[in-house]
Structure 1
Amino acid sequence: MRLAIIGGGASAVTLVDALARSAPKEKISVSVFEPRAVPGPGRPYAEDADGALINRPADAMSIRHRDPLDFRNWLREAHRGGEFPSADPEARFQPRWLFGVYLRRRLASAAARLAADGGTVDVHATAVEDIVAADGRLLTRTATGGTQAHDHVVMCLGTPRPADIYGLAGRPGFVADPYPLSEPLPTGEPVTVLGSNLSAVDIAAALLRRGHTAPIRLMSRGGLLPSVRCRPAAIGPAEARQLAEAVRRTPPAALWTTVRRLLHDRLVAHGVSADEISLDLATGEPAVRRLARQLGRTEAADCWRGVLLPLLDPVGELLWQRLPLSTRKAFLHRNTRLATVLNPMPPATAALLLEALGSGALEVHSGVTAVTARPGGGFTVTADGKDHRAGVLLNATRATPYDLDEPAGRLLGRLAASGLARPHPCGGVYIDFATNRVLGPACGLYALGHPTAGDLYYANAGSLLGISARAERIVARIQRGPATGTAALATSSTLTIGGQLDG
């Protein structure tokens, strides 16, 4: 069997690992297409991102959903062997670069295991520009002109790069994609970061930990920083089952109202304060006050953020897929404040930002309406009716759709033009919820991770434990045999709903 994996980041490693652990009954030839020099870490977990912490706890970062402590146990063993002496293997939030090492090691061990079974894993340092269905197989065409035939293709395209909202690409001083922050900036030069989301916070944290002395400004339309992650509350089996049953059984038209009511009841039962919810979702609270308040609540049993996420995590994928498309689109457009709660930052990062805000090393501005290049160099950022000058501008705006100027965007555009995939208005492409097969005429084409955001929600699509569970589904599917023939092109996004994902 020949399998192509487009992309060589965390999702791809998870898939290769799942394949190796499945004890395949036939020889498998795996071709990984990854233009980056080092396969495994992808954009988020490169070695040069030394100042950023993973935003999820270490015990939720395993590439094996049935063994959620795999990363932590790997780190403990490596630490006992004398590796990474400066790392604390018991820390709840680990450096991104360290997780990148874990990914590289797991990819190498999975490749060795497949080789022992007579298979191969070959990494091609190029991007795939197109996929063509021919004679029951899928042909990949690369940027270097190469063509290969495969029985199955899985698109592990990673997260889209930041959106160039103001058309500043190519302007001196504009860093279109600064994540990870591979090149240190002059420590005495002020830096403006366009955005205040997790990527923007990671950039600020990296600069601060590197000793950047000049002011750092985070500037965005809303000016809201990500919330601070709380300790997860203990959710009883009965309340988890109640929510899961409601998600499965409630008609889609009434689902949003029903789930909101159930979540409200569960939050009240855990003693959550309505005032805290209102404060967290409101705009206008100074960043210093907001961070200090939330840092003081990270261990509180009645912190609503610590109750909400454990309730939603097991049913998030199914809930999102069952919601009407209009509700999903409205949520992505209007609920940016709730997104700060669903994508929280580590307490250590929040403490660093709070200290920097207090000393004047960091500023947070809201109300951005325009960014323009200045004739003599630099930029003008207009926020709340005031013009702010910026010499260096780091772009950290969030992008759910793939940019057509990047390889992933070009590939998806070509697949849409040829009919092999249907673009999803909420991001990525339409998939079969049960199997991750890309809806279209090609039986052997799958997507994993962010390309599935439209049907799985981008936060769920980026959860490694969830990705691992879905990688195992793909492996089970493709091991039934090579793709033969075509599937009828789906005309509706309403699919048969599978069971709840493990992990």
Structure 2
Amino acid sequence: MSKTGARPRVLVVGAGLAGTATAIRLLHFARRPLEIILLERRADYRSAGVAYHRDGNPWDYVFNIQAGRMSVFREDVLDFVNWANQEADRRKWPRRWASWKFTEQGPAPRRIFQDYLDDRLAEAARESCSGVVLVEADGEALDARRCDRGFEVTVRGLAPHVTEGLRPGALPDTLLLDADHVVLATGLELREPPFAACVAGHPLFIRNPYSASAIRTLTALPADASVVIVGSVLSAYDTAGLLLRNGHTGPVRLVSRSGTLFRTYPGTHEHGVVRLPRPGILMEPYRGREEFLARVRTAWREACSSVREQHPEIDSVVVAERVAKAWEPYLPEAIDFIPSEELRCLLDEFSTGIAALRVGAVEYTMEIIERAMRPEDGRVELVGGRVQEITPAPSGRLTVSLAAQHERHSFEADLVVSNFGRESDYAKVGHPLWRSLVRSGVATPHARTGRGVEVDECGTLLDSHASPAGPISAVGVPREGDEIVRHGRTGAFAFNLAAIKNHSVAVAAHVVEQLELRRDGLHQLAARHPQYRSYVSNPEEAVRGALEESVELEVRRLASRERNRREALDSRLHARIRSMGGLPVLPTGVPRDERLIRAVVNRVAVERLNNVSVTPRQLRRQLGLEQAELPEE
């Protein structure tokens, strides 16, 4: 911790969706002075990242899911829709969207999400407690090393006036920044596809379809040009849809290793959760891939049939999604039987197919693609196979060579677009910050899946001995492997808004809790007794009632965006905890300190706020958040 009386500092590395969402929660949760530095190396990615930044998202690029699922607050499901209808500045929007009435089930342009996150971040800063400040800084984190305070981070491009306490770094144009806690929200890491080595930098090859230069190339392309899009996932539909809406008449080939196409959500589709029994057939010892896949297919057919019979109101198109999500609580147990090497192979082979089971796309995106794939149109074709090589052709075009089953073939194209081949193995990630963290042992590549890094249940990085590596956490993509084995969440993880929302709540609450305990001199005690986090019930009903009421107050405080309301709830919560006196609500050997009881209450409140067994709307009702007024004294 910084010197006595000094304001603690949290450095959030990455200001895209994950970093901004976490900063918003930090601003909401902090009850004492705190400096939050939100660091971003690309100014155009601030409050957006690769998925939502305006320069790479034309107005026709819409969310693949319905607008009603895009709120940054899971406990306030319609916040984004209400913002778009009531608060958004539409003066520079095109006519179609400027007059659009956004609905829960309808589409919304991705590019306006940047404005939404900007507004919600500014609101959170305005409504933060006294002494809590937000610093939005431009710069790139290159290294992070442990120090007495927490971590010393080497930053390139950071203006000296941004914050106090900077020192020159060892590298030219770098500064050293001390932080009490570091949150890594670095987003996806690109992997250069080996099949494109011969065309890297070629004007007819687009490596990043969400770059401003790619959008310019696509919109200026001759209408009769032949186009190959490597991949058939949702980003491929953006590219194809942009071409088709601009009147493209030439052939567009979607090259897919798995031959997967995503489903179109019905116009009335609502997010829902069903409960299914534990698929016991999956919990048997692993006896080989084919035998395991046969068991999966059997259990899957039975589960889908059960949903159709028990829930006839569910559209058949989304039955697969319901089953995939209902299975998530059971998958960690099933995954535990699979050897690591086999698990990695299964994830690599079936990741696109799993993603297509878990999520679809809105009609606005898919309608034009499906129409162009019909035989009477034929402008879009799905081609099965793995791209082996892309090379310049003597004609001046590009040759795409494919391997499909036991044969190879090739064709020429006027333009080739490669969708995101992201690097999920952090032993191979090339960014200097992650290279440094892995090399020093602060970060450990995820052993079971080879995806992301090892973290504990709070998102804290684990070292090679499976111990917390210090006050450093991760949100979003770097936690992919942990999400798979801990929560059974598979497929389409790079832009998984639901997971990011839960990460932002849990990490922000944990960071604030740790800083408070450390400032109060209780962090060593808490570290010696990790069970203090447990919600330890006492048989005395009075104690259970007091704890339950405290948790309800804390849930409402965490979910409140207005400072006055949070402070009023905090005051009531403090009084309620004090009224418990010396009652034994903590494990044996842990002092009955009110501040530790408060940490227990906060942990339970976070778990309830992040409950994924119900829909966001059900969660809001379940937690009593529909009531706008404060509980009476």
**Which range, TM-score by smaller chain?**
0.7 to 0.9
Quote the Cα distance in structure 2 between the aligned partners of 1:92 and 1:15: 27
Alignment partners' CA distance in 2, 1:252 and 1:125: 51
1:40 pairs with 2:47: yes
1:118 to 2:118 alignment: no
The aligned counterpart of 1:187 is 221
For 2:504, the aligned partner's letter is A
Q: How does 1:278-317 map to 2 (within 5 A)?
A: 300-301=315-316, 303-312=318-327, 315=329
* CA separation of 1:298 and 1:171: change in aligned 2, threshold 3 A: farther
| 2:147 equivalent to 1:134 | yes
Secondary structure of 1:438's partner?
strand
Contact 1:151 1:444 in 2 (8 A): yes
Distance apart, 1:337 and its partner CA: 2.7
Q: How does 1:423-462 map to 2 (within 5 A)?
A: 423-424=445-446, 425-432=449-456, 434-440=457-463, 442-457=469-484, 459=492, 462=495
Structure 2 Cα separation of the partners of residues 37 and 96 of structure 1: 18
Which secondary structure state, in structure 1, belongs to the residue aligned with residue 461 of structure 2?
coil
Q: Could you report, residue by residue, the CA deviation over 1:328-367 in whole angstroms, capped at 9, with x for unpaired residues?
A: 4233122243332224222332211022224233232222
What is the 5 A alignment of 1:321-360? 324=338, 326=340, 328-335=343-350, 336-358=352-374, 359-360=377-378
Question: How big is each residue's C-alpha offset from its partner over 1:36-67, in whole Å with a ceiling of 9 and x where there is no partner?
Answer: 22310111112241222211222222111211
Q: Is the 8 A contact 1:131 1:140 kept in 2?
A: yes
Matches within 5 A, 1:199-214: 199-214=235-250
Q: State the shift of 1:243 in Å.
A: 4.4
Structure 1 SS opposite 2:482: helix
Could you say which residue in structure 2 is the equivalent of 1:494? none
CA distance in 1, matches of 2:259, 2:192: 17
Q: Taking every aligned residue pair, what percent have the same amino acid on both sides? A: 24
Higher-Rg member (1/2): 2
What is the rounded CA distance, in whole Å, between the counterparts of 1:16 and 1:317 in structure 2? 31
Count of residue correspondences: 459
Letter in 1 for 2:183: V
- Residue 456 of structure 1: how far off its partner (Å): 0.9
Q: Is 1:316–1:460's contact at 8 Å kept on the other side of the alignment?
A: no
Contact 1:65 1:502 in 2 (8 A): no
Shift of 1:151: 0.6
Matched, 1:67 2:76: yes
User: 1:29 aligned to 11, 31, 35, which one?
Assistant: 35
Contact 1:193 1:395 in 2 (8 A): yes
Q: How does 1:155-234 map to 2 (within 5 A)?
A: 155-161=184-190, 163-166=192-195, 167=197, 168-180=199-211, 181-185=214-218, 186-188=220-222, 189-229=225-265, 231=269
Counterpart position of 1:471: 504
Distance 2:62 2:298 in 1: 35
Aligned pair in 2 of structure 1 residues 330, 429: CA closer, same or farther (>3 Å)? same
Indicate if the aligned counterparts of 2:204 and 2:414 stay in contact, CA closer than 8 A.
Answer: yes
Question: 8 Å contact 1:243–1:259 — kept in the other structure?
Answer: no
Q: Which whole-Å CA distance do the structure 1 matches of 2:106 and 2:64 have between them?
A: 10
Could you state the TM-score of these two structures normalised by the residue count of structure 1?
0.79
Structure 1: segments with no counterpart, 5+ residues: 273-296, 489-497
Find the partner of 2:303 among 247, 266, 273.
266
Aligned mates of 1:164, 1:220 — CA distance in 2: 15
Deviation at 1:455, TM superposition (A): 0.9
The residue aligned with 2:389 is: 371
Contact 1:51 1:206 in 2 (8 A): yes
Q: Return closer, same or farther for 1:438/1:260 CA change in 2, 3 Å cut-off.
A: farther
* Contact persistence 2:149–2:179 (CA under 8 A): no
Deviations 1:63-87 (A, max 9, x none): 1121122212212223698885243
State the 1:174 CA deviation.
1.8
SS in 2 for 1:445: strand
Q: Secondary structure at the match of 1:40?
A: coil
RMSD: 3.7
1:105 aligns with 119
Task: Give unmatched runs, 5+ long, in structure 2.
Answer: 1-7, 158-173, 485-490, 528-603, 613-633
Query: Any idea what SS the aligned residue of 2:421 has?
Result: coil
Give the distance between the partners of 1:60 and 1:260, measured in 2 at CA: 30
| TM-score, normalising length: structure 2 | 0.64
Report if aligned partners of 1:213, 1:361 keep a CA contact under 8 Å in 2. yes
Aligned equivalents of 1:104 and 1:389: distance in 2? 43
